[in-house]
Amino acid sequence: MKTILYISCSPRGAASHSRIIADELVDRLLSRHPGAEMIRRDLAANPPSFVDTAFSAAILGPQSAPPPALEESETLIRELESCDALVLATPMHNYGVPAVLKAWIDQIVRIHRSFRSTPEGKIGVLTDRPVHVVVASGGWFSGPSPTGTPPQPDFLTQYLRAVFATIGLRDIAFITLEGVTRGPDIAAKAYAAARQRIAEL
Ligand SMILES: Cc1cc2nc3c(=O)[nH]c(=O)nc-3n(C[C@H](O)[C@H](O)[C@H](O)COP(=O)(O)O)c2cc1C
């Protein structure tokens, strides 16, 4: 493995649960692949642009020489193409991905560039590679809480699977930290389970 792209999305800096565990995951990958180059992108500190009029028009135009409206998209897609593994650290916000991650997705999932639209459906253009997603959430979504509260809707994990598959990335593994705002004991259990997953990688 030569290059790891590490994308984080939490606005909570060093206190971010998803970032703390993703940092440990990255350390483990680096210990197994010493010398691998790390590309770090903090989407909370530097949010990608939102789709605007020029971008909407440009994605449908000729792609041979991408116009200025697609420059940022080109940069982000090339960054993704250059990595051998992607590590994504994200909170759950209102049952889904944070707005900054949605903005990144809208830049990288681009017709005629990272996927093609065919009569058989959308076909991804990127070569598959491992994608490790660390998700932190205040409550539970993969099943009921320890006290039996029903799980929340989850528009995050299935959504990420769908958008990554659209561009050709299907090797997705999730490490979830659920219930992290429900007290230190529950958070400790979530950390222990996440660290176990990392150890098993
Ligand atoms: C705007 C906002 C929306 C949130 N929505 C949810 C939610 O839908 N479900 C949930 O379980 N937790 C929700 N949370 C709690 C966060 O997922 C939780 O604090 C998590 O630890 C954030 O990840 P981080 O520690 O990596 O920043 C929300 C937090 C914020 C700030």
CATH of the domain at 42: 3.40.50.360
What 8-state DSSP symbol labels residue 181? Answer: T
Q: What's the Cα-to-Cα distance from 149 to each of 146, 152, 183, rounded to whole Å?
A: 8, 9, 16
- What percentage of the chain carries pLDDT values higher than 90? 95
Q: Is 152 in the pocket of ligand 1 (CB under 6 A)?
A: yes
User: How many domains does the structure of the chain reveal?
Assistant: 1
Give residue 184's domain range. 3-200
Q: Checking DSSP bridges between strand 115-118 and strand 131-137, what pairing results, if any?
A: unpaired
Question: Hunting for tokens 């994990």 — which residue is that?
Answer: 157
- Report which ligand 1 atom has the smallest distance to the Cα of 94: 8
Which pLDDT score, from 0 to 100, does residue 31 have?
A: 96
Ligand 1 neighbour 91 (Cβ under 6 A): yes
Q: Out of 7-11, 66-70, 89-93, 139-143, which region has the weakest mean confidence (pLDDT)?
A: 66-70
pLDDT tens-digit readout, 24-42 = 999 999 999 999 999 999 9
Q: What's the mean per-residue pLDDT of the chain?
A: 97
Q: Is 181 a pocket residue for ligand 1 (Cβ < 6 Å)?
A: yes
Residue of 12, 43, 94 to mutate, ligand 1, most atoms within 8 A of C-beta: 94
Question: What number of other Cβ atoms are within 10 A of residue 166's Cβ?
Answer: 19
User: Does any ligand 1 atom lie closer than 6 A to the CB of residue 25?
Assistant: no
